Structure 1
């Protein structure tokens, strides 16, 4: 029978390549800080809820700890709509109850913008309802409706600090966004942002103060009780502001000190180099960029800066107040994302986007939403990334494709990968992902056209390409070519359990090299005993060698791990038949017909039921492992 293509191993490799495509050009290394304490995360609504170039992690920094999620207890009260008597309605006769249900349904479905809009309408009709207000505020934050969030930000007794402080941060930043820096500065001066958003407030307030003309406040030294990384980031912001104030010598001294730290120097070489370029010191700037590369920085911004200096290009402009504030919020987002408080990161990034509406910020929002597994919201953000930066556009299309594939939407995933390939026709990693998606969709001839094209047929093609090509060849029945490709993959990764299983199964199933194939499968199973597909191969190899009792034992365990796999159930039926457990074999074969099964296997199983048991196939969904003998 035909060897079935097994998806999981292929797309594990594909996902890694996709992340490699997007990350080197865009994702910055986030500064890590000690975990924020006492950070409650709202339990409701169930809604969909970067990076500054100089933000990186010291080489020996420890893995960031996760922010503790202190979820507030839900009050023991009836559902919110139960206290609306009479139920409020708007001018069009639509009820708050209807808006509430529509909002909750939209949020549950991943439609964050629609959900936020509905809940904001509920809040307008029922301002006395604190829980509705909190839900509407949170939904507006995560959907990016920040003006609404600023307007309805709840305060007062019983409101969680995460809500109160987020509301104050959003209100101040949005006031600045709309051009009133003095009012925003006064808001932050009167009520500094507290935990868990204190770091974001600390980073952004000097830029707002500078825009308001409050230079004493803008250039004040950071507090002495800050953690070391946050202190360095605050000083970097101060160095930028000193430059804007034309206090160049002081700015240079600040940058020189920041780049002298053994562990953190590479955080600041790029912005210091840019400062030096603006001061006409190209050679000194190149020293900084070369040092960053030597230390391991390969991000696109550093490489472009180095190329620009060598080409004697025009230096980048110093960040103005809005861009500086946006960079500050992106740095805060990096740090909180590193602590796995992804929803907070999204909020900071949306504030940064309002200050600096760039495609890079849209990409970072989408990427963070993906990390939070808010796929629909992530795709909505990624869809807004335009073609001005073609590399960024292609990376967004790839990320969107992975999101669609994760949600089981194969056609949209393929469309996005085709767009990425069209945008970057010479990018081998995108070609590989496109081929992988075509294989997943069983469009093997199209996949082989890509796999055998010039981008992937190279002298140094990697394990993943050989492996995927071998799987595609096997699926269309081109066994010798499949064997050659899988053998080439095995030479590159001799102990890889997936390729050991693929090639070993091919040899066992065709009868070409049963003993050698069985030995390879045994090695694969020893390396990954939890994989039901590999255990199926082990059992099938035993079956083909006449070791029927052992085959039954392993195939039963494989079915327990992969109960919906038609091939494994079919194999178990064959093994039961071989040991004389005929009734159980019949149950197992009927079970195969109740699953998603290919036409060839279906016909084979139906023939077994008729010829061996004189049964008309039932496709009984209740049949299966454990049937009475």
Structure 2
């Protein structure tokens, strides 16, 4: 079977068709005089912030709802059942919250559970569930309220962190400092460590806030984050020379130039040192994971925009929580990353953090909330907006909303037309709805169809061309892609099936399909391709066995079921063949397949198909012969 769902294809031997890291494209080179929008779509996972020999801490615990909560019993103390002003019962609200959670709608779940808990505060299990739901949904008001319940809450120390953040948001530094005075156990000790200087500053203890940072080789990342904070806090105290010196010490570490160059550039702009600021922004664009914020700042400078405002204490605190989320992500703590990013946004609204929150929610399998969060990223920064729209498209595609996914990809393309990553995703979306000519127009743009382009572009171009029956061109594109990723099962499947199905190079195609199946044995599409190759070679009994396994993996795939019916017919199992063909008609086949199957049923079997000639054709193939 040649068609693998394009939005989900992963070219394992090279880069992926999923939201890619910028390392998959050519290195960025920015002309300081006229910086163009480059391919700097941020990756779905945060970039590494450390390369020091810091021992990896134990992975933080996953956040799970207690098993006993999955089958709630009606508590006896709820008789008579409390109701709210609208007449909704506490238990009805609880069930609505649980149902919303099962559907993946954490925000609605948190709202219903909080309402139910407010009516029945004596229920400890409900308090725990409402607290967890509010944490993941970023409902800081209810997290703070429930933290004061006195219950022994799961991840209760996150509640203390939330109370401190809420106090910081309200400008009550003394309360925030008092809340964090009691040490929190891991993993919450990390964000507390980063927040401590900020909380000290908010409480007015500038001596503590500006205490020198002590470098230790085992905690390089921590030292970098604290140095960045100290430099920015020094600027707030108008100690500009000391702030500059701290930034210089910080940026002597190569990875710090990328992570904190934007902060230093903004500081230099505020000091009137525009060329130095431009160089700091350029440093943030170096390497394989450039910071898209730097490109926006450079574009603003070129348009003579004002320098960024000096950060507030709350903004510096928001950045501290954002870095804690980065660490949690690296350690596999996706739910913790969600909590820290929600708290960061409570202190400072920032589209870059909103984008990271949406990506963290995807990793934490909170799809409904991730979808809504992607949609909250505004168009001010076109790169971030494009990345958010691509993420939104992924979720819509998983929900089988092809039209909605394509609209999101088109919005991304309008926002960032020079981004090859976006163009590639848009082309895949167009192919997914069979708009092949439009996909080719995207793939043949001057900034996309360039020397050294990644194999995904050749793959997509070959797929579209083969769908338009432009087989020689398709063959050349797929062969070129295969030279770049020779062991990739998707490429082996696509070119192998083309060769087998058209009779061009049946033996070679069958060999490719065998390799593809060996590399991805659980893929029903690839197994169908292999079975069809066996059928074309006259190996009908073997084909039956292979195609039965493929149907078992994808029982609702009309093409695979059709192929199995053909194989049954060839081995004399005609009643089973007719049963399979009849079933094809219930699986929403395309018009061409429906007509073909109806003809087979009416005429009593498939049209005779000679066993394929194994002699290779003379069709041109770019590059050396396989």
TM-score class, shorter: 0.7 to 0.9
2:201 paired with 1:210: yes
8 Å CA contact retained: 1:81, 1:97: no
2:540 paired with 1:579: no
**How far apart, in 2, do the equivalents of 1:67 and 1:604 lie?**
55
Aligned-partner SS, 1:16: coil
**How far apart, in 2, do the equivalents of 1:455 and 1:309 lie?**
25
Deviation per CA, 1:274-320, whole angstroms, max 9, x where unpaired? 55665666787777677777766632345667899999997655422
Deviation per CA, 1:54-103, whole angstroms, max 9, x where unpaired? xx222777877532348686569962544311111223332212221222
8 Å CA contact retained: 1:173, 1:184: yes
2:121 paired with 1:127: yes
Aligned pair partner of 2:10 in 9, 12, 19: 12
**How many pairs are equivalent?**
586
**How far apart, in 1, do the equivalents of 2:566 and 2:572 lie?**
10
Aligned-partner SS, 1:79: coil
**Cα shift at 1:546:** 2.1
**What pairs up with 1:222-233 in 2 under 5 angstroms?**
227-233=219-225
**Cα shift at 1:255:** 4.3
What is the aligned partner in structure 2 of residue 344 from structure 1? Answer: 336
**What pairs up with 1:52-451 in 2 under 5 angstroms?**
56-58=49-51, 66-69=59-62, 79=73, 81-154=75-148, 156=150, 158-160=152-154, 162-163=155-156, 165-189=157-181, 191-220=182-211, 227-248=219-240, 250-252=242-244, 254-259=246-251, 271=263, 275=267, 298-301=290-293, 316-451=308-443
**Cα shift at 1:152:** 2.3
**Cα shift at 1:326:** 0.8
Deviation per CA, 1:572-622, whole angstroms, max 9, x where unpaired? 3322332333344344334434434233323333433443379xxxxxxxx
Higher mean displacement: 436-445 or 292-301: 292-301
8 Å CA contact retained: 2:393, 2:405: yes
Deviation per CA, 1:95-136, whole angstroms, max 9, x where unpaired? 212221222222322333332222222122112122222222
**How far apart, in 1, do the equivalents of 2:581 and 2:186 lie?**
61
Aligned-partner SS, 2:141: helix
Deviation per CA, 1:352-383, whole angstroms, max 9, x where unpaired? 11221122222222121122121111111121
Higher mean displacement: 559-568 or 298-307: 298-307
**How far apart, in 1, do the equivalents of 2:414 and 2:265 lie?**
35
What is the aligned partner in structure 2 of residue 36 from structure 1? Answer: none
**How far apart, in 2, do the equivalents of 1:509 and 1:31 lie?**
43
Higher mean displacement: 516-525 or 130-139: 516-525
**How far apart, in 2, do the equivalents of 1:72 and 1:245 lie?**
45
Deviation per CA, 1:481-512, whole angstroms, max 9, x where unpaired? 43343344344444443233222322222223
8 Å CA contact retained: 2:63, 2:335: no
2:589 paired with 1:603: no
What is the aligned partner in structure 1 of residue 613 from structure 2? Answer: none
**Cα shift at 1:249:** 5.2
**How far apart, in 1, do the equivalents of 2:18 and 2:97 lie?**
37
8 Å CA contact retained: 1:193, 1:202: no
Deviation per CA, 1:222-267, whole angstroms, max 9, x where unpaired? 7999955334423432333233334455545544544556887865
**Cα shift at 1:327:** 0.8
**How far apart, in 1, do the equivalents of 2:265 and 2:491 lie?**
47
**Cα shift at 1:156:** 3.9
Seen in structure 2, the aligned counterparts of structure 1 residues 478 and 138 have a Cα distance that, compared at 3 Å, is: same
What is the aligned partner in structure 2 of residue 473 from structure 1? Answer: 465
Aligned pair partner of 1:501 in 493, 498, 501: 493
Seen in structure 2, the aligned counterparts of structure 1 residues 500 and 11 have a Cα distance that, compared at 3 Å, is: closer
Seen in structure 2, the aligned counterparts of structure 1 residues 590 and 112 have a Cα distance that, compared at 3 Å, is: same
**How far apart, in 2, do the equivalents of 1:268 and 1:585 lie?**
65
Which TM-score applies when normalising by structure 2? Answer: 0.81
Structure 1 runs not aligned, ≥5 long? 33-55, 615-629
8 Å CA contact retained: 1:10, 1:468: no
**How far apart, in 2, do the equivalents of 1:291 and 1:433 lie?**
28
Seen in structure 2, the aligned counterparts of structure 1 residues 461 and 264 have a Cα distance that, compared at 3 Å, is: closer
2:524 paired with 1:532: yes
Seen in structure 2, the aligned counterparts of structure 1 residues 132 and 275 have a Cα distance that, compared at 3 Å, is: same
**How far apart, in 2, do the equivalents of 1:457 and 1:30 lie?**
29
Which TM-score applies when normalising by structure 1? Answer: 0.81
Seen in structure 2, the aligned counterparts of structure 1 residues 542 and 60 have a Cα distance that, compared at 3 Å, is: farther
Aligned-partner SS, 2:10: helix
8 Å CA contact retained: 2:258, 2:286: no
Higher mean displacement: 527-536 or 267-276: 267-276
**Cα shift at 1:452:** 4.6
8 Å CA contact retained: 1:30, 1:331: no
**How far apart, in 2, do the equivalents of 1:29 and 1:254 lie?**
29
Aligned-partner SS, 2:17: helix
Seen in structure 2, the aligned counterparts of structure 1 residues 559 and 113 have a Cα distance that, compared at 3 Å, is: closer
**Cα shift at 1:146:** 0.9
8 Å CA contact retained: 1:58, 1:264: no
Seen in structure 2, the aligned counterparts of structure 1 residues 263 and 508 have a Cα distance that, compared at 3 Å, is: closer
Deviation per CA, 1:336-358, whole angstroms, max 9, x where unpaired? 12222222222221221122112
Query: Over the residues paired in the alignment, what is the CA RMSD in angstroms?
Result: 3.8
**How far apart, in 2, do the equivalents of 1:531 and 1:426 lie?**
34
**How far apart, in 1, do the equivalents of 2:213 and 2:570 lie?**
77
8 Å CA contact retained: 1:473, 1:482: yes
8 Å CA contact retained: 1:535, 1:558: yes
Higher mean displacement: 397-406 or 457-466: 457-466
**How far apart, in 1, do the equivalents of 2:329 and 2:485 lie?**
34
